[in-house]
């Protein structure tokens, strides 16, 4: 209750009106000559803001228009289109990762990038990615999709390790989403789009408005609402075709299983950003958000002959027959004889007498087979309702001595409630529901920050020595909410029975058996009371950050940070950086830093059962805490922080003809956290896990746990170039190139060859885009070419289904015209030539027509139309 009270108190203060931060960007604009700088950045340094080419570490600045001038409604996809080192794909049939898609910056895991909003740490999503294709396994990053692009002023991407400056997670870099601080006017925009194939229809309406608050303050409110239909890029599965050929008319047509983007319902996002004077040079500020959405997608098809624990217990040889009244002394045809624990006369699938036997079972209410309920098999629909709320309240100002301060308190909460439809709890037999409330994950974070900055005049330096220091307290809590009882409870067909040994025959032993039906909602078991509950931890941090122009040409900086965590102890990190101005147009820069990422509370304590492929077979894989005694027998132990060493070196060249930055980075990460390799489990251990409340564990043949499992070295080069062009006398034009090369090598750890190959090759090593913009009079035009190099996909994470798709090129276009005063009409297309990835040669195994990790997606072309009113 205290947590919720703090969260909603902060959020209410934000969403009512008592906010007013010094907009860091606005402050910077007052401190510098606007005519001298095209871009002003505030990320990566605690000095007065400077241009992106005049910072020791590389920073990309992405204006709001670069997000708004796209057809896609998800900001994560929009970032992918303009930041080549940022990778995110569709994530179909990926458990909870379908709801909050993991994204990778510079080839590293999603939670190795720190996300800020207005310079303040953004809370994590409640979703942990269990099926991450190797790279994102076990990651728990923020939900960037909760941020509406219309609320943004700009996004700054710091492509450099920054844990010494900002704390945990900033190994790959930092993304700072800076909210609009406009104090007047606004816009309303409506957008509709659809794929060339005629599915995936989406519509969106968004608006933003700013108004003055007091003499110098402002309040800015932005709201976005979106709906999106699913897509299908599927083929019929081979096993489904076989069933149809054998006369089964109940198999779903045209596809038993769907691969495509999920359906998104009532996707609502709202942000408020406010600032007001508080007297005597102080400013009170606040910002916050509320968002909600429902996402629903498909799961793997359950074959009516072979699905274990539902239709068969031996891979399709014999049919599972359940006895709903085991105590009546009557044995069902093909069922268990409870006197012996054996199946005396198994019902062989496809045998001559099977049809008559099934007819007698259907007619007997005491006997049951799931072919009666789902004669053509079934495909579960999995989804979740996501709710996100956050708020930050702070006071910022400067004393007469020149000491500036920023004191803030913030809280963020992300909750995902899971559901699954069109499935069964097989152990309940004929009494099973088909729709289950599975329970929820909740991530709650609270932050208190005190940041101080003081410039000291040093005669030998060309500028004051900027000394920044501060304190941070954080608390993180991960909670598991209990699902409905039918989603996890064992029914009559899943109960264990015991035949005691006969004392008269000492050679006999007692026998434990069941009817063989799976327990819990098939596909994603609900969370039982034993799994439910909360875990938390807290940490405190102190940092010191110094930077100065040592000479007119040389900038030097250093940062140190000490943190103490309640669960694993302390960590200390540092960073040094430098920039040298060779000429007025040319600079060189370099950084070296150590970093860390603390394991999340969820990673340390989560239990989950997922359905995935091993080889070409669909099986249940369990995730258990690494401190579980059964995990510890296989090497599990308490998680420790990931640690990193990062080096960058680059150059920037800027004049009236071109702006060019080239930066090399090298990141060594030790003790990376991911799910372990598969660990075999005995029947006795599986039953023990079931008794601990891990529903469905009795079906497990293998399990995993999160571990500090391996070490990697990631290196790459980023190239950003902007060229202004004078193509016409009255218009303005520009050409922008953004390219990235990233290579990851596993240099330590006990991983199998498949996991190593996934980590090293699942993402394309080269990505880039070239964007041309032209505006003239009342119209403008944009075209973009996108490139992603070849990659390797272990389809369904299987060693036997290896794909090597080639590189892809897609083109986007957009044209806009002002049709009336303050009204713009925009039409455009993404992937205008309807490009698709190489076909999936194993499509018949599970129905995916294309590689499912395709870096540019596999929906094909998408057209859209927008109408925008500015006021």
The CATH number covering residue 532 comes to 2.40.170.20
* Domain annotation covers residue 316: no
User: Is pLDDT at 25 greater than 90 in this prediction?
Assistant: no
Predicted confidence at residue 413, as pLDDT, reads: 98
- Residue 243 sits at φ, ψ, to 5 deg, of -65, -40
Count of domains observed in the chain: 1
ω into 63 cis (within 30 of 0): no
User: Is pLDDT at 13 greater than 70 in this prediction?
Assistant: no
Would you say the C-alpha torsion 839, 845, 851, 857 has a positive or negative sign? positive
Return d(Cα 575, Cα 177) in angstroms, integer.
23
- Mean per-residue pLDDT, 97-101: 88
The alpha-helical segments, DSSP class H, found in 128-237 are 163-166
Q: 366, exposed or middle or buried, with CB in 10 Å at 0-12, 13-18, 19+? A: middle
Q: 512 or 423: whose pLDDT is higher?
A: 423
* Domain annotation covers residue 860: yes
Bridge partners of 613?
A: 618
Q: By the 8 A CB rule, do 153 and 180 touch?
A: yes
Predicted confidence at residue 71, as pLDDT, reads: 86
Predicted confidence at residue 55, as pLDDT, reads: 86
* Domain annotation covers residue 507: no
Return d(Cα 665, Cα 627) in angstroms, integer.
36
Going by DSSP bridges, is the β-strand pair 702-704/617-623 parallel, antiparallel, or unpaired?
A: parallel
Cβ-based neighbours of 718, under 8 Å, separated by 6 or more: 58, 84, 85, 159, 650, 661, 662, 663, 665, 738, 739, 740
* Domain annotation covers residue 331: no
Predicted confidence at residue 499, as pLDDT, reads: 84
Q: What angle do CA 256, 260, 264 make, to 5 degrees?
A: 110
* Domain annotation covers residue 335: no
* Domain annotation covers residue 314: no
Predicted confidence at residue 44, as pLDDT, reads: 82
At 166-202, the pLDDT tens digits run 999 999 999 999 999 999 999 999 999 999 999 999 9
Predicted confidence at residue 10, as pLDDT, reads: 40
In terms of phi and psi (left: phi > 0; alpha: psi -120 to 50; beta: otherwise), the region of 558 is beta
At 112-166, the pLDDT tens digits run 999 999 999 999 999 988 765 667 878 899 999 999 999 999 999 999 999 999 9
DSSP code per residue over 198-219: S---EEEEEEEEEEEETTTEEE
* Domain annotation covers residue 563: yes
* Domain annotation covers residue 511: no
Cβ-based neighbours of 310, under 8 Å, separated by 6 or more: 302, 320, 370, 424, 426, 517, 518, 522
Which of 456-470, 680-694, 702-716 has the largest mean confidence? Answer: 456-470
**CA 329 distance to own-chain centroid:** 53
Q: 788, exposed or middle or buried, with CB in 10 Å at 0-12, 13-18, 19+? A: buried
Residue with tokens 């973009």: 784
Predicted confidence at residue 749, as pLDDT, reads: 87
Predicted confidence at residue 694, as pLDDT, reads: 65
Nearest CA to 22 out of 216, 224, 266 is that of 216
Predicted confidence at residue 237, as pLDDT, reads: 97
Tokens coding 306: 């072979």
Cβ-based neighbours of 708, under 8 Å, separated by 6 or more: 639, 640, 642, 671, 672, 673
Q: How confident is the model at residue 630 (pLDDT cuts 50, 70, 90)?
A: confident
Bridge partners of 645?
A: 594, 668
Q: By the 8 A CB rule, do 208 and 186 touch?
A: yes
Residue-number span of the structural domain to which 458 is assigned: 2-304+380-490+522-870
Q: What angle do CA 602, 611, 706 make, to 5 degrees?
A: 30
User: What 3-state DSSP class applies to 587?
Assistant: strand
Bridge partners of 788?
A: 767, 808
Q: By the 8 A CB rule, do 343 and 314 touch?
A: no
Return d(Cα 336, Cα 511) in angstroms, integer.
13
- Mean per-residue pLDDT, 444-465: 95
Predicted confidence at residue 20, as pLDDT, reads: 34
At 361-417, the pLDDT tens digits run 999 999 999 999 999 999 999 999 999 999 999 999 999 999 999 999 999 999 999
Return d(Cα 127, Cα 138) in angstroms, integer.
10
Nearest CA to 512 out of 750, 280, 308, 341 is that of 341
Cβ-based neighbours of 209, under 8 Å, separated by 6 or more: 185, 186, 220, 221, 222
Question: Could you write out the three-class secondary structure of 404-426?
Answer: EEEEEEEEEEEEEEEEEECCCEH
Which of 93-97, 751-755, 852-856 has the largest mean confidence? Answer: 852-856
Q: How confident is the model at residue 755 (pLDDT cuts 50, 70, 90)?
A: confident
Q: 353 or 26: whose pLDDT is higher?
A: 353
User: What 3-state DSSP class applies to 487?
Assistant: helix
Predicted confidence at residue 24, as pLDDT, reads: 35
Tokens coding 205: 């309406």
Return d(Cα 852, Cα 856) in angstroms, integer.
10
Percentage of the chain beyond pLDDT 70 is 91
Compute the mean pLDDT over every residue in the chain, rounded to the nearest whole number: 89
């Amino acid at each position: 209750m205290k947590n919720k009270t703090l969260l909603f108190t902060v959020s209410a203060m934000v969403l009512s009106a008592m906010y007013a931060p010094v907009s860091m960007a606005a402050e910077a604009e007052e401190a510098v000559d606007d005519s001298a700088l095209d871009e002003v950045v505030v990320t990566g340094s605690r000095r007065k803001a400077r241009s992106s080419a005049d910072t020791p570490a590389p920073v990309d600045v992405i204006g709001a228009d670069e997000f708004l001038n796209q057809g896609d409604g998800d900001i994560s996809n929009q970032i992918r289109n303009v930041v080549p080192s940022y990778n995110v794909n569709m994530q179909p049939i990926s458990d909870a990762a379908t709801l909050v898609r993991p994204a990778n910056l510079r080839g590293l895991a999603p939670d190795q990038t720190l996300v800020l909003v207005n310079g303040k740490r953004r809370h994590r999503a409640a979703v942990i990615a269990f099926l991450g294709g190797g790279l994102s396994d076990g990651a728990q990053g923020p939900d960037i999709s909760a941020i509406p692009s219309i609320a943004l002023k700009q996004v700054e991407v710091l492509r450099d390790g920054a844990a010494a400056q900002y704390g945990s997670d900033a190994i790959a870099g930092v993304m700072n989403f800076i909210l609009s601080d406009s104090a007047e006017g606004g816009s309303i925009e409506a957008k509709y789009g659809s794929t060339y194939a005629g599915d995936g229809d989406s519509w969106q309406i968004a608006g933003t408005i700013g108004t003055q608050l007091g003499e110098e303050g402002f309040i800015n409110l932005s709201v976005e609402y979106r709906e999106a239909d699913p897509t299908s890029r599927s083929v019929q599965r081979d096993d489904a075709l076989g069933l149809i050929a054998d006369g089964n008319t109940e198999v779903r047509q045209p596809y038993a299983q769907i691969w495509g983007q999920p359906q998104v319902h009532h996707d609502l996002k709202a942000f408020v950003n406010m600032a007001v004077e508080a007297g005597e040079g102080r400013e009170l500020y606040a910002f916050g958000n509320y968002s909600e959405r429902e996402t629903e997608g498909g799961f793997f098809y359950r074959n009516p002959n072979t699905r274990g624990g539902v239709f068969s217990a031996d891979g399709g040889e014999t049919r599972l027959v359940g006895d709903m009244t085991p105590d009546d002394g009557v044995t069902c045809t093909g069922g268990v004889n409870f006197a012996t624990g054996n199946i005396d006369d198994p019902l062989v699938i496809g045998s001559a007498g099977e049809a008559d036997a099934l007819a007698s079972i259907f007619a007997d209410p005491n006997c049951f087979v799931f072919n009666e309920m789902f004669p053509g098999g079934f495909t579960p629909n999995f989804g979740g309702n996501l709710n996100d709320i956050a708020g930050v309240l702070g006071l910022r100002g400067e004393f007469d001595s020149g000491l500036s301060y920023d004191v803030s308190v913030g809280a963020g909460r992300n909750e995902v409630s899971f559901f699954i439809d069109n499935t069964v709890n097989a152990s309940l037999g004929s009494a099973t529901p088909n729709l289950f409330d599975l329970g929820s994950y909740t991530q709650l974070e609270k932050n208190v920050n005190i940041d101080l900055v003081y410039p000291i005049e040093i005669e030998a330096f060309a500028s004051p020595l900027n000394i920044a220091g501060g304190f941070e307290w954080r608390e993180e809590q991960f909670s598991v909410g209990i699902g409905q009882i039918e989603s996890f409870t064992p029914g009559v067909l899943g109960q264990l029975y015991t035949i005691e040994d006969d004392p008269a025959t000492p050679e006999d032993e007692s026998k434990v058996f069941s009817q063989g039906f799976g327990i819990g909602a098939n596909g994603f078991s609900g969370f039982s009371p034993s799994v439910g509950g909360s875990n938390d931890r807290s940490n405190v941090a102190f940092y010191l950050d110094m930077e100065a122009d040592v000479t007119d040409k040389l900038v030097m900086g250093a940062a140190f940070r000490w943190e103490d965590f309640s669960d694993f102890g302390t960590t200390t990190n540092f960073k040094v950086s430098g920039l040298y101005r060779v000429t007025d147009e040319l600079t060189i820069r370099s950084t070296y830093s150590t970093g860390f990422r603390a394991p999340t509370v969820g990673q340390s304590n989560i239990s989950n059962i997922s359905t995935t492929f091993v080889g070409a077979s669909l099986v249940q894989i369990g995730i258990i805490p690494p401190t579980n005694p059964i995990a510890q027998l296989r090497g599990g132990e308490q998680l420790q922080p990931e640690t990193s060493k990062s080096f960058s070196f680059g150059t920037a060249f800027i004049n009236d003809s071109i702006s060019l930055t080239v930066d090399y980075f090298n990141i060594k990460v030790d003790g990376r956290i991911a799910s372990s390799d598969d660990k075999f489990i005995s029947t006795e251990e599986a039953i023990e896990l079931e008794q601990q409340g891990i529903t469905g564990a009795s079906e497990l043949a293998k399990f995993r746990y999160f571990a500090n499992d391996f070490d990697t070295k990631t290196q790459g080069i980023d190239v950003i170039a902007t060229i202004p062009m004078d193509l016409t006398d009255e218009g303005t034009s520009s050409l922008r190139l953004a390219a990235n090369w990233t290579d990851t090598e596993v240099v330590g750890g006990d991983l199998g060859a498949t996991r190593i190959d996934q980590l090293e090759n699942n993402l394309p090593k080269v990505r880039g885009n070239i964007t041309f913009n032209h505006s003239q009079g009342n119209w403008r035009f944009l075209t973009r070419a996108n490139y992603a190099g070849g990659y390797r996909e272990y389809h369904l994470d299987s060693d036997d289904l290896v794909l090597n798709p080639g590189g892809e090129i897609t083109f986007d276009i957009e044209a806009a015209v002002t049709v009336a005063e303050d009204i713009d009409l925009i039409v455009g297309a993404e992937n205008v030539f309807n490009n698709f990835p190489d076909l999936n040669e194993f499509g018949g195994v599970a129905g995916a027509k294309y590689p499912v990790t395709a870096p540019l997606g596999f929906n094909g072309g998408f057209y859209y139309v927008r109408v925008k009113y500015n006021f």
